Amino acid sequence: MPVNRALFDEVMVPNYNPAAIIPVKGKGSRVWDQEDREFVDFAGGIAVSCLGHCHPAMVNALTEQANKLWHLSNVMTNEPALRLAKKLTDATFADRVYFANSGAEANEAALKLARRWALDHFGEEKNQIIAFHKGFHGRTFFTVTVGGQAAYSDGFGPKPGAIEHVTFNDLSSLEAVMSDKTCAVMIEPLQGEGGVVPGEREFLKGVRELCDRYNALLIFDEVQTGFGRTGSLYAYEQTGVTPDILSSAKALGGGFPIGAMLTTAKIAEHLKVGTHGSTYGGNPLGCAVAEAVMDVVNTDEVLQGVKKREQLFKDALHAINDKHNVFAEVRGQGLLLGAALNENYQGKARDFLVAAAEEGLMVLVAGLDVVRFTPSLIIPEADISEGMARFERAVERVVRAQQG
């Protein structure tokens, strides 16, 4: 039986349309497909593979734990989960952690906690959740409804209620709908899927002040921005704003599925025994890997390295743009970067992704108009220059096709 892209259409639900190539092996920031074609990885599995592929620290942690203990359920706790939670609380504003298996589940827990906190303190009326247009929070029905793209939540019957959307980076649009009924505001400090759009400093400060004024919880969705991606362990550290609840996933496990919701002791109290849970959440394998990832990522060396690589990426993208004039703007923070296409290439981000793959480079898009880069946080400089050489050839392909 040939295992190829055609088999996907035979046996998989058609909710994805993956590329024709099937990678079989990765090391650092290089990946090889079934034909042994080699790729430079600027995608990092969508901001997940923060230490590249098969980093020895992760492989060791996983193999060691795999030979010790895989699973217990939450009837019992385990050492890796407790060690990881201790490190996360030591390193952040938070005092308590809830473990899940994905970003959506971490956000689901955050939203349920916020609703329960508001109910306990203020009663049933305080249930409004406000989020932002183009925001993305996952695909469970609650989180996708809080997300700011109705197209993702339409067509599944009645939605969870009392959810409002306002404009990102526009404080007055938030102020207009906020009231004592607002239970929480959920926001990405830098919108990832929505086009790599940083939240402005004054805006984020204003959001915090409005939450304080109306006794609403501020939830930072750091699933994409977190775990070193923007050059600090979490992006909030650079905003001057501290959230009440923070969700983390993606890079947290470096490629092993794990999510976490972080909050203060006072708020956490409201998730009493039996109110929420998960069979796998906090399992020893995921927590052992995440602990190993954190030991590497949460160091000056890696976090400052992110800033240095940010500059290398931005310089290379500007140089390509000086020659080929395809971007209106290069934006983002750390290694969550977006090249927004100029008016001549609107709607064509996918063409750049396809051309890059043909040149042996994996990149991402964020919407129709932005090429997105979320490589390993420790990508070697040689791989950055080789990847950018390939990207330039990809840009040339698109420009040629455009000129017909």
What residues are labeled active site?
136, 221, 250
CA 103/CA 60 separation, integer angstroms: 24
Say which residue the tokens 């946080």 belong to: 377
Please state the closest distance from residue 251 (CB atom) to ligand PLP, in A.
10
Q: Which of 104, 290, 297, 320 binds ligand PLP (CB under 6 A)?
A: 104
Q: Which of 249, 261, 287, 362 binds ligand PLP (CB under 6 A)?
A: 249
Distance of CA 131 to the CA centre of its chain: 16
Token pair recorded at residue 21: 């190539």
Distances (CA, A) of 361 to 39, 105, 189, 290, 364: 5, 31, 28, 27, 10
Q: Which is nearer to ligand PLP, 193 or 392 (CB)?
A: 193
Q: Which of 65, 127, 153, 224 binds ligand PLP (CB under 6 A)?
A: 224
Q: Which of 113, 178, 184, 223 binds ligand PLP (CB under 6 A)?
A: 223
Q: Does 199 bind ligand PLP (CB under 6 A)?
A: no
Q: Does 193 bind ligand PLP (CB under 6 A)?
A: yes
Write the interaction track for ligand PLP spanning residues 290-329; mark x where CB under 6 A is met and - where it is not. ----------------------------------------
Q: Which is nearer to ligand PLP, 138 or 375 (CB)?
A: 138
Is the separation of the CB atoms in 31 and 21 below 8 Å?
A: no
Q: Which of 28, 44, 52, 103 binds ligand PLP (CB under 6 A)?
A: 103
Is the separation of the CB atoms in 48 and 255 below 8 Å?
A: yes
Token pair recorded at residue 15: 């909710």
Q: Site for ligand PLP (CB under 6 A): how many residues?
A: 15
Token pair recorded at residue 265: 């002791």
Range list of H helices, 156-234: 171-177, 201-213
Say which residue the tokens 């009493």 belong to: 272
CA 374/CA 314 separation, integer angstroms: 13
Q: Does 138 bind ligand PLP (CB under 6 A)?
A: yes
Stretch that binds ligand PLP, among 25-33, 115-123, 126-134, 187-195 (CB under 6 A): 187-195
Q: Which of 115, 137, 348, 372 binds ligand PLP (CB under 6 A)?
A: 137
Please state the closest distance from residue 188 (CB atom) to ligand PLP, in A.
5
Q: Which is nearer to ligand PLP, 108 or 291 (CB)?
A: 108
| Beta strands 217-221; 182-187: pairing state | parallel
Stated as kind and residue range, the H or E segment containing 363 is none
Cβ within 8 Å of residue 145, ≥6 positions away: 153, 159, 160, 163
Stretch that binds ligand PLP, among 102-110, 315-323, 361-369, 378-386 (CB under 6 A): 102-110
Q: Which of 136, 168, 234, 256 binds ligand PLP (CB under 6 A)?
A: 136
Q: Which of 49, 92, 102, 127 binds ligand PLP (CB under 6 A)?
A: 102
Q: In this structure, how many other beta carbons lie within 10 angstroms of the beta carbon of residue 66? A: 12
Reading across the β-sheet that carries 182-187, which strands appear in turn?
96-100, 259-263, 245-248, 217-221, 182-187, 128-132, 163-166
Stretch that binds ligand PLP, among 132-140, 166-174, 305-313, 328-336 (CB under 6 A): 132-140
Please state the closest distance from residue 392 (CB atom) to ligand PLP, in A.
28
Stretch that binds ligand PLP, among 4-12, 221-229, 267-275, 295-303 (CB under 6 A): 221-229
CA 232/CA 333 separation, integer angstroms: 10
Q: Which residue's CB atom is positioned nearest to ligand PLP? A: 103
Identify each DSSP E strand in 2-161 by its residue range: 23-27, 30-33, 38-41, 96-100, 128-132
355: amino acid identity, one letter: A
Q: Does 334 bind ligand PLP (CB under 6 A)?
A: no
Cβ within 8 Å of residue 151, ≥6 positions away: none
Stretch that binds ligand PLP, among 81-89, 188-196, 233-241, 357-365 (CB under 6 A): 188-196
Stretch that binds ligand PLP, among 101-109, 178-186, 202-210, 395-403 (CB under 6 A): 101-109
Residue ranges binding ligand PLP (CB under 6 A): 102-104, 107, 136-138, 188, 192-193, 221, 223-224, 249-250
